[in-house]
Structure 1
């Protein structure tokens, strides 16, 4: 069984399909560790989760957008300001994917409700959506830090920029999504390794590509730029591919 890791597809079903096809993923034999945020952004959240549910050895971790969507579809996203924030940051596309005023299918809800907050493998690899608190045991790290906070990544990236990436003790490798590499450096279009920390989110929800990595060989495959797969949609970047072309802003 091969092991793959992917993160933050944000409704980009077509990109997800490309990644699985390009890496030769076997849906019945191989394992996919998904670091969260399959929802919110592009128009095919429903199709994306339908696909994930067909993978025999899927391990799904909770992302911050997954938590938002869960709150919405279980009637807990009741504060108007938070609801507007979620809709503006990709939630509207998720609602449209399932249909206005329609519920999320029970099996889709179950996937998100049963999502893990983190995973530590038998060979001591840590997988988590956003980060963790290195000053305390992983089991004592709060949910906000695990799926929302960027403090962990920002601290490591500052050291990396100074040419002094530091080793994360206690784990062979740490795999994280959440913070797009292209927002740290627009030229960083592939997963970023900082010593034994690897960032997997390469901006699929914005102007980047979706990336999938073979955990054991470290080989990476990528989708086309996701905005080109949904040329009439804004995703989470504010302008569609077609609009960018019309304005002469095409760059990849």
Structure 2
């Protein structure tokens, strides 16, 4: 029997990811959906990408593009970088690639190119790193950067009146387009949580792996939760993201 598992942000925490997959007792039949931000944070950023490339040979995987993935991809392709990126995890990725061969970097660039901005499954569930703004759905989004940068979907979910129901006049139209929407990007630790949070029909699976939290995975049918130990405990000599 196969499961469909959705994973929150990884941020280079490969050791924690390996532990998490052991806890899940992964089967080759399981479908894995990753919500982005595989890099920028801990020292295993480049190794995490290598691991995911190999994992996709065993399991059916969907790799959604995160904002940090886009930044690292641009740097790999063109050398483009900026100080703010370097200060918020980028330096860890630059360091992680120092000993990679050009051939290995080419494989990684292909991995980044093949990521998707969002994934919509047959049960009307949407998987996207950050969100979307178009009231008619992500396929009509004006700027693709919104998929991996925009926070308004989650901000709206947090602020919605709990008594509002689908169909009510002020219930957000974006929410009604899908049965469920799974996102990362904004750590739930910002609201004092350490496990995935559901607001309306929005599931936020980013549990702060870049900082002091674990990596989380959720069985999207049963809602069974799996978590690693806090990622920083695997990298005691590092600071992670600032």
Write the distance in 2 (CA, Å) between the matches of 1:166 and 1:157: 14
Does residue 171 of the first structure (1) align with residue 178 of the second (2)? yes
Equivalent residue number for residue 90 of structure 2? 91
8 Å contact 1:156–1:166 — kept in the other structure? no
For residues 156 and 41 of structure 1, the distance between their equivalents in structure 2, rounded to whole angstroms, comes to: 27
Do structure 1's residue 44 and structure 2's residue 82 form an aligned pair? no
Query: Is the Cα–Cα contact under 8 Å of residues 165 and 194 in structure 1 kept in the other structure?
Result: no
Query: Is the contact between residue 37 and residue 67 of structure 2 (CA under 8 Å) also seen in structure 1?
Result: yes
Give the root-mean-square deviation of aligned CA atoms.
Answer: 1.7
Cα deviation, residue 46, structure 1 = 1.9
Q: For the residues of structure 1 that align with 2:228 and 2:69, how far apart are their CA atoms? A: 22
Distance 2:43 2:16 in 1: 12
Equivalent residue pairs, number = 228
- Confirm whether residue 194 of structure 1 aligns to residue 199 of structure 2: yes
Aligned to 1:53: 53
Distance 1:66 1:57 in 2: 20
CA distance in 1, matches of 2:230, 2:79: 34
Q: Does 1:68 align with 2:67?
A: no
Between the aligned partners of 1:165 and 1:177, the Cα distance in structure 2 is 24
**What is the CA distance between 1:101 and its match in structure 2?**
9.1
User: What is the distance in 2 between the residues matched to 1:215 and 1:57?
Assistant: 15
Match of 1:206 among 208, 211, 214: 211
* Structure 2 length-normalised TM: 0.89
Matched-pair contact (CA < 8 Å) for 1:156–1:165: no
Distance in structure 2 (CA, Å) of the matches to 1:100 and 1:110: 19
Secondary structure in structure 2 of the residue aligned to 1:105: helix
Which whole-Å CA distance do the structure 1 matches of 2:164 and 2:238 have between them? 37
CA distance in 1, matches of 2:201, 2:195: 16
Gap change, CA 1:75 and 1:99, over 3 Å in 2: same
Deviation at 1:29, TM superposition (A): 2.1
Structure 1: how far apart are the matches of 2:75 and 2:38? 15
Indicate how the Cα distance of structure 1 residues 220 and 140 shifts in structure 2: closer, same or farther if over 3 A, else same: same
- In the TM superposition, structure 1's runs of 4+ consecutive aligned residues that sit over 4 Å from their partners are 100-104, 164-167
**1:191 touches 1:200 (CA, 8 Å); kept in 2?**
yes
